[in-house]
Structure 1
Amino acid sequence: MEDVKVRQPEQPTPFLTEKRKRYIHGLIRGVVLTFVLTLIADQMAALPFFSIAGIMIISVLLGMTWSSLMGAQANASIGIGFSSKYLLRLGIILMGLRLNLTEIAAAGVSVIIIDVIVVAFTLVIMIYLGKAFNIDQHLSALIAVGTAVCGAAAIVAVSSVLKSKKEYTALAVACIAILGTIGAIVYIILFPVLDLDSKTYGVLVGATLHELAHVIAAAVPLGAAGMDNAILTKLGRVALLVPVTLILGFMFSKTSGSQNPKKGLKDLPIPWFIFGFLAMSVVTTFHLIPNGVTQFLIEVSVYLLAMAMAGLGLSINFKDFKQVGVRPVIVGVLGFLALAGIGPFLLLLL
């Protein structure tokens, strides 16, 4: 009789294969690294001068410093990418909880008109300057949206839609951080000289400075009432992040020269997470969750965005900075000066 071969049962594939273990290790390493850098940034942001820059700006600078000192973080790249992409989008969604649409509307039609003019004027003039100085259109758009809308958060939101180089995003963030900090200091110095009441000065600050941290710092001399006007005016610009991101997404999809037709909803140049941002503002407007929970989630959004910034800093290549040159900085300065220049004329609408 011939020997009958007994078929051995197949061994089940273990859930934690070596590949999965490496992925999980890289994910944890990268996320923890961005979190630690964010914790350090949070402590630094409590210091007098650094408070003007804010936790998000400090986080990207710490990430850049760590990358330059320690080299590429290959064993943590998965987690760094996760922070830069997914935590960023979650942070932007939760940032919508800052917006109470009723309060923005109550600030007055004139303030809303001022915000619309500021955003439209700044985007047009800075994108035009980018073309005049022969700067990459993605980079000029990022600097423009950071100046026009809400600084670093707007830059990273739009960069994820335009699929811009990380170096461009980091450069735009750094440029906005420096200009906004200088602008806040100048406004504080000029406040005693300017013949403006608290409301008018608050609107001027909220309409022309880059980051919310810059607005708050420059509005400190006003007291609580004046600071509320500055913050509400600034949040009106933040609310315009939704249409600005959608418009820029479609504009750049038209000029990209791609020959591949869109195949489905997921392929459209629409940042779907931005609708989460809008939904969260509706949650705050109608008080759908307790105020304590809202404030906690706003703090979480700040940390998530700061972790994304740290991941951005860890991912950049300094060699690409040298290739860009000084022209983007000049465009950033000229754009900010143009915005500050129309500020007094905008106050005539009040």
Structure 2
Amino acid sequence: MQYSESPNHMLKSWPLPFLGGIAFTFFIALLGMGLSKLPGFHYIGPLASAILISVGYRQVSAYPEKFRPGIEFSAKKLLRFAIILYGLKLNIGVVFHQGLPLLLRGIGTVAFSILVMYALAKWLKADAPISLLLGIGTGVCGAAAIAAVSPILKSKEEDTAISIGIIALMGTLFSILYTVIQPLLPLSDSTYGAWAGLALHEIAHVALASAPAGQDALAMALLAKLCRVFLLVPLCFFFMLRMRKCAPGNQKRRTKIEFPWFLIGFIMTSLLGSYLLGDITPARVSEMISNLNTYILAMAMVGLGLNVNLATLKNRAFRPLIAMTITSILLSVLIFFTL
């Protein structure tokens, strides 16, 4: 946005585009939360619903330039804050005391997803940045992983939004499929839960697929998923070092990889929730914090979705979608036969 006013006038008018942009993402996120309550849309959840509305808005109207400062604040700053709050969902103590075998399997899940996605993307000549984000989201924890890694990889906001939308759609379809076939499988409840927790994308998808199989399945599924969420931190640092190392020799000194300080916050909230707040925080308060985190993430998704221009993406999203579908199928089959 360009201004021709005097500096004093610019200072006085600055809060309007900033606060207006935040209010804009707040309102669209509210619509997304409402949409996610409707039949059918409750499967894809509030984050994907918010992206759908914002992407739809962008296609019928231009980007709201006058609100850009606030929208970019939601897409970047609020997104990092939401990742920090997301750490409260990770109980590190449970992971180390009960989930070490699942943690090792989780490492295999992450490595398999990224490497197979990379190979398929090359074979299908799919868009590389989107494919990498989808591989990371498939291996770790869906939208949260994509949102955490994208600033490190310097991904375009458009690519991030597309990847989150795709993974929300595919994760929903796979979780429904798991629920349908679960009664037909020769698996115990806990084994089925481990399968779902190691193979499905989002925490919400894992809960959706495992809850119908009973409390034992749900508990094992969430434990397996927490082990994968734990791997988000070392994976982000790996990519930070990788980005630095892969810079051309004459540009290494000039290549600046922003340190992901929000991951330090993620670790701190994880420790806080695991060892200090976990036993003393009322369930109602925990639920309110979780809902707040979801809403802030939805506002960030709106900011990302407004950067998506579908007219320019006809040939960019389809092949990564195919590659991710194949990767998810192979991952599910591999985990099923190795449990």
Structure 1 length-normalised TM: 0.88
User: Counterpart in 1 of 2:25?
Assistant: 34
User: Counterpart in 1 of 2:220?
Assistant: 229
Distance 1:108 1:155, change over 3 A: closer
Q: Is 2:180 aligned against 1:185?
A: no
User: Counterpart in 1 of 2:305?
Assistant: 313
User: Counterpart in 2 of 1:71?
Assistant: 62
In the alignment, the residues of structure 1 paired with residue 153 and residue 111 of structure 2 have an alpha-carbon distance, to the nearest angstrom, of: 19
User: Counterpart in 2 of 1:291?
Assistant: 281
Shift of 1:315: 2.0
* Contact 1:202 1:226 (C-alpha < 8 Å) held by counterparts: yes
In the alignment, the residues of structure 2 paired with residue 259 and residue 56 of structure 1 have an alpha-carbon distance, to the nearest angstrom, of: 41
* Contact 2:162 2:317 (C-alpha < 8 Å) held by counterparts: no
In the alignment, the residues of structure 2 paired with residue 276 and residue 295 of structure 1 have an alpha-carbon distance, to the nearest angstrom, of: 20
* Contact 2:140 2:231 (C-alpha < 8 Å) held by counterparts: yes
User: Counterpart in 1 of 2:195?
Assistant: 204
Equivalences, count: 331
Letter in structure 1 aligned against 2:231: L
SS of 2:248 mapped into structure 1:
coil
User: Counterpart in 2 of 1:338?
Assistant: 330
* Contact 1:57 1:152 (C-alpha < 8 Å) held by counterparts: no
Shift of 1:269: 4.7
- Tell me the percent identity: 34
In the alignment, the residues of structure 1 paired with residue 33 and residue 324 of structure 2 have an alpha-carbon distance, to the nearest angstrom, of: 27
* Contact 1:122 1:335 (C-alpha < 8 Å) held by counterparts: yes
Letter in structure 2 aligned against 1:156: A
In the alignment, the residues of structure 2 paired with residue 235 and residue 246 of structure 1 have an alpha-carbon distance, to the nearest angstrom, of: 18
In the alignment, the residues of structure 2 paired with residue 100 and residue 269 of structure 1 have an alpha-carbon distance, to the nearest angstrom, of: 27
In the alignment, the residues of structure 1 paired with residue 38 and residue 277 of structure 2 have an alpha-carbon distance, to the nearest angstrom, of: 35
Q: Is 2:317 aligned against 1:328?
A: no
* Contact 1:142 1:172 (C-alpha < 8 Å) held by counterparts: yes
Q: Is 2:150 aligned against 1:159?
A: yes
SS of 1:322 mapped into structure 2:
coil
In the alignment, the residues of structure 2 paired with residue 72 and residue 25 of structure 1 have an alpha-carbon distance, to the nearest angstrom, of: 17
User: Counterpart in 1 of 2:271?
Assistant: 282
In the alignment, the residues of structure 1 paired with residue 111 and residue 130 of structure 2 have an alpha-carbon distance, to the nearest angstrom, of: 18
Select between 125-134 and 152-161 the one with higher mean Cα deviation: 125-134
User: Counterpart in 2 of 1:271?
Assistant: 260
* Contact 2:99 2:223 (C-alpha < 8 Å) held by counterparts: no
SS of 1:163 mapped into structure 2:
coil
* Contact 1:99 1:281 (C-alpha < 8 Å) held by counterparts: yes
Distance 1:251 1:196, change over 3 A: same
* Contact 2:43 2:172 (C-alpha < 8 Å) held by counterparts: yes
- Larger Cα-atom Rg: 1
In the alignment, the residues of structure 2 paired with residue 253 and residue 318 of structure 1 have an alpha-carbon distance, to the nearest angstrom, of: 32
- 1:234-270 Cα offsets, whole Å, 9 max, x none, are 1211111111111122223333438444479xx4453
Shift of 1:114: 1.5
* Contact 2:243 2:257 (C-alpha < 8 Å) held by counterparts: no
Shift of 1:323: 4.2
* Contact 2:99 2:224 (C-alpha < 8 Å) held by counterparts: no
Letter in structure 2 aligned against 1:196: L
Q: Is 2:238 aligned against 1:247?
A: yes
SS of 1:315 mapped into structure 2:
coil
In the alignment, the residues of structure 1 paired with residue 119 and residue 62 of structure 2 have an alpha-carbon distance, to the nearest angstrom, of: 37
User: Counterpart in 2 of 1:8?
Assistant: none
SS of 1:150 mapped into structure 2:
coil
In the alignment, the residues of structure 2 paired with residue 128 and residue 302 of structure 1 have an alpha-carbon distance, to the nearest angstrom, of: 33
Gaps spanning 5+ residues in structure 1: where?
1-15
In the alignment, the residues of structure 1 paired with residue 12 and residue 126 of structure 2 have an alpha-carbon distance, to the nearest angstrom, of: 43
Q: Is 2:165 aligned against 1:168?
A: no
Shift of 1:319: 3.0
In the alignment, the residues of structure 2 paired with residue 235 and residue 51 of structure 1 have an alpha-carbon distance, to the nearest angstrom, of: 23
Shift of 1:325: 5.3
* Contact 1:104 1:232 (C-alpha < 8 Å) held by counterparts: yes
User: Counterpart in 2 of 1:138?
Assistant: 129
In the alignment, the residues of structure 1 paired with residue 191 and residue 101 of structure 2 have an alpha-carbon distance, to the nearest angstrom, of: 12
Select between 167-176 and 102-111 the one with higher mean Cα deviation: 102-111
Shift of 1:97: 0.5
In the alignment, the residues of structure 1 paired with residue 191 and residue 227 of structure 2 have an alpha-carbon distance, to the nearest angstrom, of: 16
Gaps spanning 5+ residues in structure 2: where?
1-6
User: Counterpart in 1 of 2:229?
Assistant: 238
Letter in structure 2 aligned against 1:340: S
Shift of 1:213: 1.5
Structure 2 length-normalised TM: 0.91
